[in-house]
Amino acid sequence: MAKELTFEQQMKKLQDIVEKLEEGKVELDESIKLYEEGLKLSKELKKQLSVFEEKIDKLGQDDE
């Protein structure tokens, strides 16, 4: 089983993908694969952020 990446590791991976795509030095097929991987990472990061926000909101409500 593959080890799950941390939020920070996923962000770094997404940043690396964006940089590669912005450079424009990869072939079209590779660009499409990188784009798809970036979209998956982006969706996963958004989900994780939602979970983090819910936890923070709950912690704030517990203090009241």
Q: Would 39 be classed as within a structural domain?
A: yes
Q: Residue 1: its pLDDT value, please?
A: 41
Q: Would 9 be classed as within a structural domain?
A: no
Q: Mean pLDDT of residues grouped by 10 in the chain (64 residues)?
A: 82 97 96 97 96 92 73
Q: Residue 13: its pLDDT value, please?
A: 97
Total tally of structural domains belonging to the chain: 1
Radius of gyration, alpha carbons of the chain: 16
Residue 63's domain comprises: 31-64
Q: What is the pTM of this model?
A: 0.81
Q: Would 19 be classed as within a structural domain?
A: no
31, 10 Cβ separation under 8 angstroms: no
Q: Residue 63: its pLDDT value, please?
A: 67
25, 53 Cβ separation under 8 angstroms: no
Q: Would 48 be classed as within a structural domain?
A: yes
